[in-house]
Amino acid sequence: MIDDCKIVKIPVIEDVRGNIAVVEESNDDIPFDIKRTYYLYNVKDNVNRGSHAHKALRQFIIAINGSFDVNIDDGYNKQKYKLDNPNEGLYMCPMIWRELTNFSSNSICLVVASEVYDEDDYIRDYDLFLKLLEIN
């Protein structure tokens, strides 16, 4: 499962006036219809975000400004990604535990999601996450 999560390059249109990065449903690297977009900003020093998994939701996470780490865990394997380039994002599949850490000052984390907010889709307890994966 962790291997299904991957860094995806975002198409960029370069111009002397400034660049445009395009994230849209027609991009084959984002394999879901976009239903929600939100962003994190003004994250305080030494504060972690995330610390949950989703049962069905898929996400595409981008560091629009600054940098942060995304630590992912499928119950068997762990991987750490440093996001610091607005020209790429991390595709996240369901049933992956994630923690966002080490936010630089003025960082902005943009998340594009496959579904609207649904609290029932969240798994906020790591032991329950492992149990749902049937890991002892």
Residues tagged active-site: 52
For the record, the structure tokens of 55 come out as: 């049962």
- The burial class, CB within 10 Å (0-12 / 13-18 / 19+), for 45 is exposed
Can you spell out the DSSP letters for 102-114? -PPTT-EEEEEES
Q: Shortest CA distance to 113 belongs to which of 9, 12, 50, 30?
A: 30
Can you spell out the DSSP letters for 1-39? -GGG-EEEEPPEE--TT--EE---TT-TTS-S---EEEE
